[in-house]
Amino acid sequence: MKQTIRLYITILTTLCLGIATIVYFGNRLHGPDDSKTQERVAVAEHASPSSGDSIFSGLQRNATDPLSRLLLQFLVIVAATRLTGKLFQKLGQPAVVGEMVAGILLGPSLFGWLFPQAFHYVFAAESHGTLRLLSQIGVCLFMFVVGMELEVSHVRRKAETAFVVSQTSIVLPFFLGVLLALFLYHSLAQTGTTFTAFALFMGISMSVTAFPVLARILQERNLTRTDLGSMAITCAAVGDVTAWTILAFIVAIVRSSNMASIALNLALVVAFSGMMLLVVKPWLLRWFRHANMKVAEPGKGVLAAVLCLVIAASLTTEIIGIHALFGAFLAGVVMPSLGDLRHKLALRIDNFSSVLLLPLFFVFAGLRTQIGLLSGWQDWLICLTIIAVATVGKLGGTVLSARLTGMEWRGALQLGALMNTRGLMELIVLNMGYDLGILSARIFTMLVIMAIVTTVMTGPLLSWFGKVKKGS
């Protein structure tokens, strides 16, 4: 042991003396030419603290570095969304509702109102671009998982009833949203947008159902394998596909400048969807069977290939002119159902995106939500009207069509409560409308409040309607 220590000290001493000797003679060498020296001195003076700086100036500069700020944002966002999500779970609500609320609380509506200096430091305006891009990646991964959760087998078993109920629960609220746009366009549309674009987005914002939230509510209440659960999952699946298809066409129409451009975008959307369903899906099925993915765990190579598919599909739909998330959703739809392959992939991707990236989307939406803009009683009256119209259209349309197809009152009312939940899917639609310059900050805030309220009321309404006498 002593010999090892002596050897270590000898080697360390020798190397240190060697370094000191090299530095000594190196300082005697001629430096670079004057122009380069002056350039480096200027850079060094710009990067290093001046003589008048305090001893903490370096720490302050490091703290405001873009990477430092982004890491701080990650820390604050992940901690806040997880804690709020856990709190809402204890209150009987899905965790995603708490995460949505956390996004609003971290925005100007609370954090920025109570601690404006801290808010502007953590969420500085120049950092919003990075937050937006990372949040969009999280949404694309989320939509890929949503696409994988759609089970075509459920749709086939109850196709006729599900089709009638799901389509009515989209068309009626869509009509009411367009009707409501007549009264809100002048005061609440974004400056420069057309009535057509505003009305279409008001219609689709009333029509969306949060399929993932609905599925988790059913799981938490052990309703997944019941007739109600099966019908709700089927209606939500059919409605989801319909709503996102309509939204894709709306975005193509809004982004296009003339009829020829609209026709080209729609043709490209149809062609891409056909290629994914008729070419990519069979090829994936053969490839996964060859890789024996029915029993094997997806390795790094498989995950890399799947992520490349998601990215390529997202890039394609973004270039076409609809939105990257539609490509991600379609990539999830075409994933083969071999054993529990979809479940394994969903666990790996969803655990990463839902914990790290998706909370960024909630906060980015919260940064755009300014409850302080709703100052007078007229604004709050409009907000309550939007909530009422959305609920009557979605819940009422579902109950009406379910009763017409022979469902009893209790089941129809519970199904209506489930279909009325909007959650994260609504936030995605609203952010698209905001990015396209269609929704103003005031109507955006009102619709975000509507999304949270209609999602929060799902659980209580489900329990309340469950007390209705069977057959009444």
pLDDT of residue 107: 92
- Over residues 104-116, the pLDDT tens digits come to 999 999 999 999 9
* pLDDT above 60: residue 50: no
For 108, 160, 177, 213, 461, the CA distances from 173, given in Å and listed in that order, are 31, 21, 6, 19, 19
First to last CA, the chain: 88
- Report yes or no on 36 lying in a domain: no
Does some domain include residue 187? yes
Q: Are 433 and 194 in contact (CB under 8 A)?
A: no
Is residue 232 scored above 90 in pLDDT? no
Judge whether residue 222 has pLDDT over 70. Answer: yes
pLDDT in tens, 122-144: 999 898 889 989 988 988 888 88
pLDDT digits (tens, 9 = 90+) for 385-425: 999 999 999 999 999 998 888 888 888 899 999 999 888 88
Q: At what angle do helices 227-255 and 324-333 cross, to 10 degrees?
A: 140
Q: Give the pLDDT confidence of 57-66 residue by residue, as tens digits.
A: 777 788 888 8
189 strand-pairing partners: 439
Cα distance between residue 69 and residue 73, in whole Å: 6
Q: Tell me the mean pLDDT in the region 345-366.
A: 87
Give the residue from 440, 397, 434 showing the smallest Cα distance to 419.
397
Phi-psi region of 240 (alpha: psi -120 to 50; beta: other; left: phi over 0): alpha
Helix ranges (DSSP H) in 256-299: 259-275, 281-290
CA distance 58 to 56: 5
Question: Does 161 fall in a domain?
Answer: yes
When divided into structural domains, the chain yields a total of: 1
91: containing domain? 82-465
Per the domain annotation, does 151 fall within a domain?
Answer: yes
pLDDT at 443 over 60: yes
Residues 184-204: what's their mean pLDDT?
A: 91
Tell whether 225 is covered by a domain: yes
- Identify whether 29 is part of a domain: no
Give whole-number Cα distances, 389 to 176, 179, 240, 290, 445, in Å: 7, 10, 20, 51, 16
pLDDT tier, 37 (very low <50, low <70, confident <90, very high otherwise): low
Kindly tell me if the per-residue pLDDT of 189 is higher than 80. yes
In-domain check, residue 20: no
Q: What is the token pair recorded at 351?
A: 């655990």
d(CA 266, CA 316): 13
| pLDDT surpasses 60 at 249 | yes
Helix (H/G/I), strand (E/B), else coil: 438? coil
- Residue 154 — pLDDT band, cuts 50, 70, 90? low
In CATH, what number is assigned to the domain containing residue 233? 1.20.1530.20
Whether 69 is in a domain gets the answer no
What pLDDT, on a 0 to 100 scale, did the predictor assign at position 396? 92
